[in-house]
Amino acid sequence: MKNSEEYGTISVCPLCNNDGWVFYRDEKGYEYAKECECGIRQRMIQRNKLKFAAIPVNYADVKLKDMTMRYYQKSESKSTFRSIADFIKIYLEYLDKYVDAGKGIYFWSSTKGSGKTMLATALANELINKHKRSVKFATSLDILDEIRATYDSHSEDRESKLLNDLVSAEFLVIDDFGTERASDWAGEKFYQIVNKRYMNKKVTFYTSNFDLKTLKYDDRIQSRIRERSFIVHFPEESVREVKAKQENGIEHAE
């Protein structure tokens, strides 16, 4: 039996009218609701998760299977990336265990363009689409800019809402952590985020150009990240230019 009828270009479920719920009455006349079999509610939930995640357009469709070592030129880089790929498989295999422990990942490499952000977003997409988890993505600079923007409205509620989204997300990806100017104000804001997630065992993934030892924030932040993160050192090799050249060569050949 078809669950939807087509009206022009709009698909409307005849059972739930696209509300996602169907209402019934039991033998005593009490009304109860069941999720409609058309699946629209689950699709709406998934769309909301993707919207909340705010993963950049460039990385919105990146999958773990797209990650490859072929752009690395050095043999040690290829070996390092292979080890990272094996680690990610293990991490996902024991995901529930690591979520319960609040154990995230700190991806770092002092070399820009080494693939850290691509892997972090591929992992985020995997969690959203395959594991049905809730993920929030933000660069460290965007986090601070958004907090500053709330001051223009003279409303503490707006800042609280933003910080609440960051501290309560099931998984949070903070990209380019440490590239922002390490002022006392920035340190306090990140301490709020890191500490609250630490206290509530929320999983955080970081990408950074800094080893934790050289991160510009004090030990309150460093120690919490260290305790609740696997430290993953990415290859010290940029693949951005190599990737562009190879793809342009393939594109040109076609």
Q: Which residues does residue 31 pair with via DSSP β-bridges, in sequence order?
A: 25
Residue 245 near residue 238, CB atoms below 8 Å: no
Specify the pLDDT at position 30: 81
Q: Which of 23-37, 195-209, 229-243 has the highest mean pLDDT?
A: 195-209
Residue 91 near residue 98, CB atoms below 8 Å: yes
- Angle at CA 38, nearest 5°, toward 62 and 61? 5
Specify the pLDDT at position 5: 38
Q: Residue 208: which of 187, 229, 184, 233 has the closest Cα?
A: 233
Interval 186-234: pLDDT, tens: 999 999 999 999 999 999 999 999 999 999 888 999 999 999 999 999 9
Distance CA(63)–CA(119), nearest Å, equals 8
Q: Residue 116: which of 193, 198, 55, 205 has the closest Cα?
A: 205
> Given a cut of 90, is residue 157 above it in pLDDT?
no
State the residue for tokens 């990737």.
Answer: 243
Burial (0-12, 13-18, 19+ Cβ within 10 Å), 174: buried
Q: Cα Rg for the chain, rounded, in angstroms?
A: 22
Phi–psi pair at 24, nearest 5 degrees? -130, 170
Q: Residue 50: which of 38, 41, 64, 60 has the closest Cα?
A: 60
Six token digits for residue 1: 């039996």
- SS3 state at 18: coil
Task: Give the amino acid at 222.
Answer: Q
Looking at residues 163-184, what average pLDDT do you find?
Answer: 89
Residue 233 near residue 108, CB atoms below 8 Å: yes
Domain boundaries, the chain: 5-38, 43-243
Specify the pLDDT at position 253: 35
Q: Report how far Cα 50 is from the mean position of its chain's Cα atoms.
A: 10
Comparing 238 with 155, the larger pLDDT belongs to 238
Interval 96-126: pLDDT, tens: 999 999 999 999 999 999 999 999 999 999 9
State the residue for tokens 């009218």.
Answer: 17
Specify the pLDDT at position 3: 42
User: Does the domain at residues 43-243 carry the CATH identifier 3.40.50.1100?
Assistant: no
Specify the pLDDT at position 155: 56
Q: Residue 233: which of 125, 96, 93, 79 has the closest Cα?
A: 79
pLDDT tier at 19, thresholds 50, 70, 90: confident
